[in-house]
Amino acid sequence: MATRLVQINMKARDDSALGAFWAEVLGWEVSSEGPGVTNLEPEGFVYPDPVAVCVDLVVSPEPKTVKNRVHIDLATTSAAHQAELVARLKDLGATPADVGQGDVPWTVLADPEGNEFCVLEPRELYRDTGPIAAVVVDCADPRAMARFWGEAMDWILHEVTDHEAVLRSAKGVGPYLRFVRTPDAKTVWNRVHLDVRPYPGDDLEVEAARLRTLGATAVDLDVPWKVLADPEGNEFCLLTPS
C-alpha cells in the first residue's frame, strides 16, 4: 500500500477571492465543491494525476499569525520570465515578503492573505514541472522527514542531506516535494497542509494504521477522511482511495 500527494489545502478568509488570485498565478481553472471550498487544477486535468498537485482553498475565520510552514515555489524559464512574473504577481495583489531570506536569487512574495511563496530563478531541475516547481515544507530534521514520507508515499527520494530532502512522483512528472531545515518551531495549526490519497482498491483504515506505524499520529476531527500529523507535527489529510 502507498499514498501519493494529490493536492495542497490552503485555509482562506475568502476562498473565492484567494482562489481567483492563485488561478491567475498558475493559469489554472477554478471549480467549487460547495460554499467555502474553491478548487484549482490545470485545464483539461483528470484528477488525480501526478502531472500536477492541485490546490484546494477552504474558508477559515482563523487569522494568519506566523510564517507558513508549507509554501509553493513557482518555476521560471529565464531571468526575463522571472522579472515579468514578479511584476505581474504584484499587479494581481502580491506583496514583497521578508522571511529572513537575505540576498538570494529568488523573490519572496505574499499572496493577498499573507501566504508566503517564492518565485524562483531559472533552474534546470524544474524545467518540466509546470508552474509549481515545488511544494516546500519547513522541518527540523530532513532525514527524519525523508524516512517517514519516503515510506508514506510511493514518490521517489531524489536527495537527502542534513539541509533538505527532495521527493518527486515515481512517474517523473509534476512538482517536487522538498523538506527544508529551518530553525523555526511549529507553534500553530498549519494554514497550508498536504493532502495524500491511497490508490483505488486500498482500504482507508488500513492505510491510516500503516501510517501510524511509520510515526504518524491521529488528529481527532469528525470528517469522512483521516487527519494525521507527521513525526514533526505537520497535519495532513489522508483522503479516501481514488
pLDDT surpassing 80 at residue 142: yes
Tens digit of each residue's pLDDT (9 = 90 or more) over 174-217: 999 999 999 999 999 999 999 999 999 999 999 999 999 999 99
Tens digit of each residue's pLDDT (9 = 90 or more) over 109-122: 999 999 999 999 99
Provide the number of structural domains found in the chain: 1
The grid coordinates of residue 86 equal 514578479
Residue 199's pLDDT is what?
95
Residue 55's pLDDT is what?
98
Residue 126 lies in domain:
4-238
Tens digit of each residue's pLDDT (9 = 90 or more) over 87-100: 999 999 999 999 98
Residue 223's pLDDT is what?
86
The candidate with the shortest Cα–Cα distance to 94, out of 64, 119, 77, is 119
Tally the C-alpha atoms within 13 A of residue 176's C-alpha that lie toward its C-beta: 22
The pTM of the full predicted model, rounded to 2 decimals, is 0.96
Residue 157's pLDDT is what?
97
Q: How far apart are CA 159 and CA 146, in angstroms?
A: 9
For residue 178, what is the domain's CATH number? 3.10.180.10
Residue 238's pLDDT is what?
97
Share the mean pLDDT of the chain: 96
pLDDT surpassing 80 at residue 33: no
